[in-house]
Structures are given as C-alpha cells and as structure tokens.
C-alpha cells in the first residue's frame, strides 16, 4: 500500500500499475515527459491523447509521480479532473485505461467519451 498526502491541486492520479508501465516506457527517454491532451473524436465527443514531449506547453498543468512527469493541457483539465490513469491486461496487450468520474457516456468501441457540461472548461 502506498501512502500519499492529499493535494487539492492534483487533478489526475496514476495507479501503481500505471506508474510502473510508464516508468518502463520512459526509462530510455531522458528528459522527456508524458503529455495528456484530448481531441474531438468519435461518436460521443472526445478522445484521450497521450504523447511524449520534451517539455510542457506554457499553459500545461504539470504533475509529478516519483520520477515520472505528466503534463495536462489546459483544454483537457476540465474533462479529466479526478481521473485515475490505470493499465490493464487485455489478452496479450497492456491497455491504458482512464477511470474518469466526469464521463457520462462512451462509444461502444471505447474510442471516445462525453462529459456533462460542468466537465468542460
């Protein structure tokens, strides 16, 4: 069990499995970070986008998880507030999952999601 202190500015969290998964992905990417954004996509509204970046954008919110840095775009903050990022095994693949409390519906294939009006910045 991991004990952490409450940080009201913390908009996202990572499961222990996700921390290990991203740490492994980033181990040879010195100085890089993971950037989370969203885009309009699919049949229900938005899709999550995870990319590697050299640095955060000027208006990104930056979160530190041990040695792992995740930047979240300002446009995505209202959509992902309170989201836990997890990784699950599906068959032979590891799949990043977003446990987002703001989601009110998702498309059947899991590609896109929609939120209440309160979730939009």
Is the overall model pTM greater than 0.85, yes or no?
no
Q: How confident is the model at residue 84 (pLDDT cuts 50, 70, 90)?
A: very high
Q: What residue segments make up the domains of the chain, in order of their start?
A: 12-116
Burial level of 22, CB count in 10 A (0-12/13-18/19+)? buried
- The reported pLDDT for the residue numbered 108 is 67
More confident residue, 37 or 114: 37
| 10 pLDDT higher than 70 | no
- Rounded to a whole number of angstroms, the CA Rg of the chain reads 14
CATH fold, domain 12-116, is Hypothetical Protein Aq_1857; Chain: A; (2.60.300)
Q: Is the pLDDT of residue 49 over 60?
A: yes
């Amino acid at each position: 069990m991991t004990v952490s202190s409450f940080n009201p500015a913390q908009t996202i969290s990572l499961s222990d499995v996700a921390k290990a998964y991203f740490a492994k992905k980033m181990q040879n990417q010195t100085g890089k970070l993971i950037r989370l954004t969203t885009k309009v996509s699919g049949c229900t509204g938005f899709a999550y986008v995870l990319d590697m970046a050299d640095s955060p954008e000027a208006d990104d919110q930056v979160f530190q998880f041990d040695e792992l840095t995740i930047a979240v775009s300002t446009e995505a903050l209202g959509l992902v507030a309170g989201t836990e990022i997890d990784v699950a095994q599906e068959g032979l693949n590891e799949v990043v999952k977003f446990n987002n409390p703001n989601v009110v519906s998702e498309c059947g294939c899991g590609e896109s999601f929609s939120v209440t009006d309160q979730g939009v910045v």
